[in-house]
Structure 1
Amino acid sequence: MEVGKLAKYLNQLEETRSRLKITEILAQLLRETREKDVDKVSYLLLGVLAPQYKGVVFNLAERMMINVLAKAYDQQPETIVKQYKELGDIGLVAQQYAHAKRSKMLVSELYDELLLIAKYEGEGSVERKIDRLAKLISQLDPLSVHFIARIPLGKLRLGFSDKTIIEALSWMETGDKSLRSDIEEAYNIRPDIGYVASLVKKYGAKQLSTKVTPQIGTPIVPMLAQRLKSPEDMIQKMGEVSIEPKFDGLRVVIHYQRGKPTKAFSRNMNEISDMFPELQKLDQQLDAKEVILDSEAIGFDPKTKRLFDFQMTMQRRRKHNIDQTSREIPLTFQVFDLLYKDGESTLQDEYFVRRKKLEDTVNPGKPLQIDESTVTSDPEVIRLKHLEYLKKGLEGVIVKKNNSQYVSGRTGWRWVKMKEIEDARGKLVDTVDCVIMGYTSGKGKRTSFGIGQFLVGVRKNDKFLTVSKVGTGLTDTQFRELAKRLRKLTTKQKPKEYEVHKDLEPDYWVFPEVVVELAADEITVSPKHTAGLALRFPRLIGFRDDKSPREATTLAEFNHLAKLALS
């Protein structure tokens, strides 16, 4: 496929707001794409060159991309800067100057060149990236460069995600979404949209279950807990359960292979191995050649042994002075599940079977510990355990259905959590993870911060619907940090994923990247917030840098939370 043809599809996608129509366009594109190119096309549709966990990024700042365009089109950087300030889109700026005729370059050639440029490292790598990218850009026609120029800055943003491509792959085969669950199940085990698209193209969606298995070094989309308010509801929906403590820590999935460096992944599938040097010394604790473990990392005070909260534990994610930080904030990894061992997937095993394999595999010590577990069918036991863990400074209980499989995401009543205390976190039974969509200029004291309130929303498929404006719960330092982060994400145009009432439009729009945890007193009906409901008296608990926008609270979860508050 030629780049020019791909660009025409990208143009259709950018101009389309209907999710169904976007899916149909994607299905047609994928249908026309050859098997050997479908992985590359799938990546480029999302403006990336590889799955997130591989960490392939350009690391080019806007000023560098301005130099690329200046070099490509023989312009002064100041001229490009002026145009960029006026248009607010590097793709539109490039389109103004592009003079090449229809691009006959192949998509495979474009992808290979972009990947080569992105992987430049070492002394002089920035200059080499600029030179080679300028040469590439100069060969593209106006429509093609409009989209390709955005990719090095991570700003292609056509208003859909990998989930939409998954649905489009089903449409490609059957003309409907009937195969979506088969494809999504494979993607959850191997979250690489290019790899999965290639398999669908080659074998068909129905064959994925025989082709996709867990692999050491490739993250698995983690399983998440639903919310239920009462132990009686839990037993009614789940039957016999295992009760385990809920820690306020950082989700870490550990990939161990004897004789090789241990890898660790966050819940949003970023590799974070370098931040946990203690995970490189697990040979004595693991009775396995290779294993994938699900865990929660919790920091503790080395003097008092008191557990730290999430925000303190998150300091271990700093990229500098790791050895010093690991001494100041030592970690224990509370292991609670086993997903793979010595060539065998355990995802389809029932929970009590996985638990037995976990206990047979992990020798508790430093840094790995196994969560304690209580098996019961009695609601009163859940209630007592919940209170016991709260008194110990934990977050209550996680309750797990004993005969449930490991299913990625937050689906069904397999794992549930119960949070019902009223404290500084608010009166809701749980907090809400929202995406920041925009912000207003500050007034009074906040003028110096550059931000007054920020608009937040929950997720509905690939859309974000508003639920509140937030201006409380932040320290001066947090206001300044937030302003700094949001300025880098500001865009002149409202992102097409956003549904916002005109009366709630902020002074500045931002791309959906920052996730915040909010508490509130209650959820009320709202005629203006596009979710149909709104948070009352919202306040910031913290930034959830461990979560991506696709892990934000969904509209369905938000509605469920509102019902729990009324029950």
Structure 2
Amino acid sequence: MKRFAALFNTIDQSTRTNVKVAALADYFSDATDADRLWTIALFSGRRPRRAVTTTRLREWAAEEADIPLWLFEDSYAIVGDLAETIALVLPPNPSSDNRSLTHWITELRGLAEVAEPQRKAFVLAAWAALGGTERFLFNKLITGGFRVGISQKLMTRALARATGMPETELAHRLMGNWHPDDTTWHALIEAADASADASRPYPFYLAYGLEDGPESLGDPDHWRAEWKWDGIRGQLILRDGDYYVWSRGEELMTDRFPELARTIDHLPPGTVLDGELLVWLPGSDTPASFNALQARIGRKTVPKKLLAEAPVVLHAYDLLEWQGEDIRHHPFATRRALLEEACADLPADAPLRLSPQIPFGSWADLATHRAAARDAQAEGLMLKRADSPYLAGRKKGDWWKWKLDPLTIDAVMIYAQSGSGRRANLFTDFTFAVWNGNDLVPFTKAYSGLTDAEFRQITAWVRKNTLERFGPVRKVTPHHVFEIAFEGIQPSPRHKSGVALRFPRMKRWRQDKPLQEANTLDDLNEMLRQYG
């Protein structure tokens, strides 16, 4: 655990990528196989389940620190992180414990099988044995809240340096539904055939946003354009007579989209498609809004009624594997031609469609198509260089997303709540309202878009202008107007305003605009009629 804590400190205290890569590479070179495997798992979101309820941990920590529970709760509200609060309130002690990361994870996972008095005794003994960062990390593990800002790209760079293996191969090995319980360091990283798992997806190729138009990209003849759909990006994998559906966030979603099982009848084994999962009603020329897809998100099983009301198709726009061969290194134009050939004889009721390309002769011509994106239920355009391979991760140069400008509305801040982590001492989460006659009606929340300096400024104002407190939430004097940007709007009976926004964020703080000039509920409803 000491070695893992030292690695965590180096990563947490540095903003330099090279420092983080070097620290990880050194760790992967020296640690035991079990600790290396668990470190990759933890840094990629594969956390142990919570072993003890947070209620009990708060009670035990307050008792051990000899402070009343209300004082612990107030401290927690200020710190914003339970693991850190516990580490801070407990009596300090130097750590003399040399047991490994794997040992502590194994012990924690065994707590589910013992009675509460034994759980408490174990936790108190661990707090007494561990100090400093080790204690903090133990708390993170026991609460099931371990998160570290390590991207897969950074992880694969470090592994490549430690093992001498290519980054692209390592990125593929780390994909899929693996867990330390069902694999080993050797099987995951070193074994000759790491692609034996039929369900394993490929790392997704991610595009950068195009801010100033495509003219700087050169000759338009070298580029291909298609709609940027507003759905869920996923890979459909057909191997060994079965099918698998993966989200861009590396979540296996097969059970949520049973209609895609019929693709086995139309495409050969050894096919991997990249595309967009969309609700597409029979007879419609465009997909349904993202709001229709939300009913399918988060469900492990889908009832027949919902399957009929919100049928999902995969709009395929790239072919990554064909007849069992990885073809990502081929130019996009070649992959696209193979994809068109594969989809040429699909029946009309197949849960798979070929995402159309948009013909254009000039950048101005393409801009005209982009302006009609919302009519097609799209967010904008994707631009892909015809000769580009399918790479792993976010690369600049060959793929670009040219999104529509967001919708905006001016709203009044009426509630504020503290953030978490490094922003636990700042008010960063706000509720906004629009006018309905003489009343302010709340309609959305937002927590991103301001600079740290602006958050500090608004925090000072909130502390002086609080009208009421509701736990961590403060009702404030209506005064400040913010421009709220969002990607879409849909009806919502759960909200008092009757609408819900997609991806709301603060675009700017309108300190130049008086309270009375904020938008109205009628303005929102007009947007709903136009874009909903």
Place the TM-score, normalised by the shorter chain, in its bin: 0.5 to 0.7
Match of 1:460 in 2: none
1:153 aligns with 2:150: no
1:504 aligns with 2:456: yes
Match of 2:171 in 1: 187
- Deviation string for 1:525-565 (max 9, x for gaps)? xxxxxxxxxxx93423469xxx99xxxxxxxxxxxxxxxxx
Partner Cα distance (1:191, 1:82) in 2? 44
- Deviation string for 1:402-454 (max 9, x for gaps)? 2211123342332334345x67359xxxxxxxxxxxxxxx97xx34xx559x9
Q: Secondary structure at the match of 2:167?
A: helix
**Which runs of 5 or more structure 2 residues have no equivalent in the other structure?**
435-439, 461-481, 490-501, 504-532
Letter in 2 for 1:338: L
Name the CA shift for 1:395/1:10 in 2 (closer, same or farther; >3 Å): closer
Partner Cα distance (2:85, 2:99) in 1? 21
Q: Secondary structure at the match of 2:400?
A: strand
- Quote the offset at 1:156 in angstroms: 4.0
Partner Cα distance (2:187, 2:361) in 1? 42
Which among 88, 92, 104 is matched to residue 110 of structure 1? 104
Normalising by structure 1, report the TM-score. 0.61
- Quote the offset at 1:369 in angstroms: 0.7
1:540 aligns with 2:530: no
Match of 2:202 in 1: 220
1:406 aligns with 2:390: yes
1:245 aligns with 2:227: yes
Q: Does the Cα contact within 8 Å between 2:51 and 2:108 map onto a contact in 1? A: no
Match of 1:563 in 2: none
Identity across matched positions, percent: 16
Partner Cα distance (1:349, 1:391) in 2? 33
Which among 55, 58, 63 is matched to residue 55 of structure 2? 63
Letter in 2 for 1:141: L
- Quote the offset at 1:245 in angstroms: 3.0
Match of 2:351 in 1: 367
State the structure with more CA Rg: 2
1:276 aligns with 2:257: yes
Letter in 1 for 2:248: R
Which among 270, 273, 283 is matched to residue 290 of structure 1? 270
Partner Cα distance (2:276, 2:25) in 1? 39
Name the CA shift for 1:373/1:164 in 2 (closer, same or farther; >3 Å): closer
Which among 325, 329, 353 is matched to residue 306 of structure 2? 325
Q: Secondary structure at the match of 2:250?
A: coil
Q: Secondary structure at the match of 1:93?
A: helix
Q: Does the Cα contact within 8 Å between 1:35 and 1:201 map onto a contact in 2? A: no
Letter in 2 for 1:149: N
Structure in which a larger fraction of residues adopt strand: 2
Name the CA shift for 1:541/1:353 in 2 (closer, same or farther; >3 Å): closer
Partner Cα distance (2:150, 2:53) in 1? 24
- Deviation string for 1:454-509 (max 9, x for gaps)? 99x9xxxxx9xx9x9976588967547x79xx9xxxxxxxxxxx98338636649x
Name the CA shift for 1:293/1:170 in 2 (closer, same or farther; >3 Å): closer
Match of 2:517 in 1: none
Q: Does the Cα contact within 8 Å between 1:252 and 1:297 map onto a contact in 2? A: yes
Match of 1:141 in 2: 130
Q: Does the Cα contact within 8 Å between 1:217 and 1:255 map onto a contact in 2? A: yes
Name the CA shift for 1:211/1:283 in 2 (closer, same or farther; >3 Å): closer
- Quote the offset at 1:348 in angstroms: 0.8
Partner Cα distance (1:146, 1:540) in 2? 37
Match of 1:314 in 2: 294
Partner Cα distance (2:354, 2:340) in 1? 8
**Which runs of 5 or more structure 1 residues have no equivalent in the other structure?**
51-55, 427-441, 458-462, 487-497, 509-535, 549-567
Q: Does the Cα contact within 8 Å between 2:159 and 2:170 map onto a contact in 1? A: no
Partner Cα distance (2:74, 2:298) in 1? 33
- Quote the offset at 1:296 in angstroms: 1.0
- Quote the offset at 1:338 in angstroms: 1.5
Partner Cα distance (2:16, 2:335) in 1? 42
Letter in 2 for 1:424: L
Partner Cα distance (1:132, 1:280) in 2? 44
Normalising by structure 2, report the TM-score. 0.65
Which among 33, 39, 42 is matched to residue 41 of structure 1? 39
Match of 2:497 in 1: none
Match of 1:255 in 2: 237
Name the CA shift for 1:6/1:500 in 2 (closer, same or farther; >3 Å): same
Name the count of aligned residue pairs: 443
Partner Cα distance (2:140, 2:83) in 1? 6
Partner Cα distance (1:402, 1:330) in 2? 32
Partner Cα distance (1:292, 1:390) in 2? 29
